Amino acid sequence: MTFEEGRPSVLPTAAVARKVSPSGFGFQIRCREPLRFVRSGGGVDTLEVVVAPGPRKPPGAARLTDWTLAGPERRVQGTLYKVERGFEFWAKGVGAYRIDPEAGRIEMPEGHDDITREQRLWGIPTALCFMHRGDVPLHAAAVEVDGGAVLLAAPRRHGKTTLALAFQRHGYRVLTEDVACCRLGPVPAVLPGPALLRVRPDMYDGHPPAGTHVAATRQGRVYLALDDDQTGSSAPVPIVALLFLRESSTGITFERVLGSIAIRDLWALSFRLPADGARARGFTQLTELASALRIWNLYRPVVLSSLDATVAGILEVCRR
């Protein structure tokens, strides 16, 4: 769940179509404002998204936690507060989101920067709502291979979005590029998130792959939206594999990981509220997830020239 600075420069794109039964993360989205990155169908629970009637003042409550950018300055980009009937999430440069998970309702701020506002909506605010359902957020991209979901788990700036984009270039559906909504059960599943890929300029060749279009550019990111015929629904997709992305200078290798060992990395890549009960529940959920999945460490060079071979290796491993 990342935060970037800079004002987006919106480029000419395909018209934003009104989707039938707009959805995301398994929610049926009800919103009078146009949303660019929703999917079509597959939503079950209702998530109502409205625009605040005016700017909010910061709440008097103590902050629960902050989110910061990586790097030496560690600048705060978002702050979460506990308020009556839910939470307030304050995103730098955007404003306040009022979240009521029990009611399935998010109030987002006014503003002319619709793309940034929607991107923030699909991060912490929506994650708090699907966590209330019992689903698990994981810092991972996910792609669909032969009807199953492959999770590409890694911290920020470890190449998961670039690798997901490479799968898109090879004709595979991107289910999410940053936050994966994982549903527990006999067969764990991913509920597809926003139909969006945010790519670093140094990892983008200037040509959106087939099935995508440029929605906006900004300092440090190019926003690629999936075309309407590429989004699919947000219905659950069973998870067939989870890969922790590691860097290597010696080639591409796969290493099986026991579930008991994987819990440490899953814990670092998950999100939970800072309370003892939430931590205990999160650990139990991650233990259940790890015990049900096939998991690998994927060591590969983090360079554009290795992407095709990395995709081919992942496909081979997942199809065994």
Residue 181: pLDDT band by 50, 70, 90 thresholds?
A: very high
177 belongs to a structural domain: yes
- Residue 239: closest CA among 130, 116, 153, 120: 153
3 belongs to a structural domain: no
pLDDT tops 60 at residue 1: no
111 belongs to a structural domain: yes
Residues 6+ apart with CB under 8 A from 236: 26, 183, 189, 190, 191
The helices-and-strands tally (H runs, E runs) of the chain is 7, 20
Residue 301, exposed/middle/buried by CB under 10 A (0-12, 13-18, 19+)?
A: middle
Task: Give the least confident one: 10-24, 87-101, 242-256, 257-271.
Answer: 10-24
What residues make up the domain containing 204? 22-318
pLDDT tops 70 at residue 9: no
Of 55-59, 113-117, 144-148, 217-221, the range with the highest mean pLDDT is 144-148
pLDDT tops 50 at residue 126: yes
pLDDT tops 70 at residue 71: no
CB atoms inside a 10 Å sphere around CB 283: 15
64 belongs to a structural domain: yes
17 belongs to a structural domain: no
Residue 302: pLDDT band by 50, 70, 90 thresholds?
A: confident
Give the pairing type, strands 295-300 and 237-247. parallel
Q: What is the pLDDT of residue 107?
A: 96
pLDDT, mean of residues 146-152: 97
pLDDT, mean of residues 293-317: 94
pLDDT, mean of residues 123-127: 95
Q: What is the pLDDT of residue 8?
A: 34
* Residues 317 and 242: beta-carbon distance below 8 Å: no
Q: What is the pLDDT of residue 85?
A: 84
Helix/strand/coil for 2: coil
Tell me the pTM. 0.88
Tally the domains of the chain. Answer: 1
Q: What is the pLDDT of residue 76?
A: 58
**Comparing 289 with 2, which gets the higher pLDDT?**
289
How many angstroms separate the CA atoms of 320 and 302, rounded? 25
Residue 108: pLDDT band by 50, 70, 90 thresholds?
A: very high
Q: 248-262 burial string, b = 16+ CB within 10 Å, else e?
A: eeeeeebeebebeeb
Residue 303: pLDDT band by 50, 70, 90 thresholds?
A: confident
CA angle 9, 10, 12 (to 5 degrees): 135
Residue 16: pLDDT band by 50, 70, 90 thresholds?
A: very low
Q: Provide the CA 70 distance to its chain's centre, in angstroms.
A: 17
* Residues 24 and 38: beta-carbon distance below 8 Å: yes
Helix/strand/coil for 126: helix
The tens digit of pLDDT for each residue in 263-299 reads 999 999 999 888 889 999 999 999 999 999 999 999 9
Residues 6+ apart with CB under 8 A from 278: 272
168 belongs to a structural domain: yes
Averaged pLDDT score across all residues of the chain:
87
2 belongs to a structural domain: no
37 belongs to a structural domain: yes
CATH number of the domain where residue 185 is located: 3.40.50.300
Q: 128-160 burial string, b = 16+ CB within 10 Å, else e?
A: bbbbbbebbbbbbbbbbbeebbbbbbbeeebbb
